[in-house]
């Protein structure tokens, strides 16, 4: 079942961010989709790198089922949150790390996590996150 297109399972999420960003993202997503079970938040506030690592690992271990899968949604891959997530993903094969978390990406994850297999969920999250980033304006100047 740990294959890439296995039947939908209880894929859980752990939002790992600086400050209150994760809390606000989940609160906003729940205002759109309703309450979400199986999703927790971990802030790096007042935690050392080791403390954050321990807290996130504890969150991963609470999932328990290697087949279920867990998505770690980090705000920045290069920051402490992303570094911890990447380190833990190397220890836990059921973990997928997604960085640059934004609201459309989180909504896509929450809506589809019980509806599609791992491979499709991974592609949906990535596509929605990329699609959400747009730049408009500042027309090219002519000389």
The phi and psi torsions of 95 (rounded to 5 degrees) equal: -95, 135
Flag whether 78 is in a domain: yes
Q: How far is CA 101 from each of CA 8, 52, 114, rounded to the nearest angstrom?
A: 22, 18, 19
Flag whether 140 is in a domain: no
Flag whether 44 is in a domain: yes
Per the model's pLDDT, the better-predicted residue between 139 and 11 turns out to be 11
Flag whether 103 is in a domain: yes
Domain that holds residue 63: 12-130
Question: pLDDT, tens digit, for every residue of 52-103?
Answer: 999 999 989 886 666 779 999 999 999 999 999 999 999 999 999 999 999 9
Question: pLDDT, tens digit, for every residue of 90-117?
Answer: 999 999 999 999 999 999 999 999 999 9
pTM to 2 decimal places? 0.87
Report the CATH number at residue 37. 3.40.50.510
Question: pLDDT, tens digit, for every residue of 33-44?
Answer: 999 999 999 999
Joined tokens for residue 21: 């960003």
Is-contact 118 69, C-beta < 8 A?
A: yes
Flag whether 17 is in a domain: yes
Flag whether 2 is in a domain: no
pLDDT beyond 60 at 5: no
Flag whether 29 is in a domain: yes
Strands 39-43 and 12-17 turn out to be parallel
């Amino acid at each position: 079942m740990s294959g890439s297109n296995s039947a939908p399972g209880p894929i859980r999420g752990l939002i790992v961010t600086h400050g209150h960003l994760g809390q606000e993202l989940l609160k906003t997503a729940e205002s759109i989709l309703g309450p979400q079970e199986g999703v927790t938040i971990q802030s790096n506030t007042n935690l050392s790198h080791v403390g954050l690592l321990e807290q996130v690992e504890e969150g991963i271990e609470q999932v328990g089922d290697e087949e279920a899968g867990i998505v770690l949604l980090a705000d920045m891959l290069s920051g402490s949150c992303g570094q911890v997530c990447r380190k833990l993903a190397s220890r836990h094969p059921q973990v997928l790390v997604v960085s640059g978390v934004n609201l459309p990406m989180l909504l896509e994850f929450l809506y589809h996590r019980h509806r599609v297999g791992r491979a499709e969920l991974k592609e949906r999250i990535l596509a929605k996150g990329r699609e959400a980033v747009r730049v408009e304006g500042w027309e090219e100047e002519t000389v």
